[in-house]
Amino acid sequence: MDPLTKLMGRTALLYLASGFVLGAVLMIGEAQGASWYGAWTVTHAHILFVGWFVQFAVGIAFWLLPRRKTPKQPFGYNERLGYLAYGLVNIGIILRIIFEPLFRLGKLDEGLATVSMATSGILMASAGIIWASQLWGRFYRRYSATNQPVKE
């Protein structure tokens, strides 16, 4: 398993564990009639969907999908772009974790909330575009046992 896949998998598992803990806290808050729990529900879903599910799936896709390894790209993809996308998606998630609940609780200016949520979305969308560009060719090239493209 390559280093990027390991990093994405481990990070995804951290989001999974934190999502479960936050979910338990939210259920307790709801049962007690707390007013703050509703501010965290969308963030909770985002932690589990993007942080856990999407990141885990993409990390595993980098590992499992067929790839052409070269001396320039020993793992079959551009590592710099892979790590850049990893950083972008996680910065985007962290921005959302910080600013969205504050806005929903009324403790954040609407302008700052708009900028932070837009920035978060742009960062995560950029990561998705990078991931897609890195994985795209794996669906359209066939490789032989010697790792050479097969003419169709």
Q: Is residue 149 part of a domain?
A: no
118-140 confidence digits (pLDDT tens):
999 999 999 999 999 988 877 76
Q: What is the DSSP letter of 138?
A: G
Q: Is residue 122 part of a domain?
A: yes
- Amino acid type, 141: R
Q: Is residue 118 part of a domain?
A: yes
Q: Is residue 114 part of a domain?
A: yes
Structural domain span for residue 45: 3-139
Count of structural domains within the chain: 1
Confidence of residue 143 (pLDDT cuts 50, 70, 90): low
CA distance 20 to 126: 27
Q: Is residue 65 part of a domain?
A: yes
| pTM of the predicted model as reported, rounded to 2 decimal places | 0.84
| Phi/psi at 79 (5° precision) | -60, -40
Q: Is residue 16 part of a domain?
A: yes
**What per-residue confidence (pLDDT) applies to 152?**
53
Cβ distance 92 to 61 under 8 Å? Answer: no
Using the predicted structure, report yes or no on whether residue 146 has a pLDDT greater than 70. no
76-86 confidence digits (pLDDT tens):
778 899 999 99
Q: How many beta carbons lie within 10 A of that of residue 46, not counting itself?
A: 20
Q: Is residue 148 part of a domain?
A: no
Q: Is residue 150 part of a domain?
A: no
> Of 17-21, 36-40, 92-96, which range is least confident?
36-40
Cβ distance 92 to 121 under 8 Å? Answer: yes
CA distance 73 to 99: 37
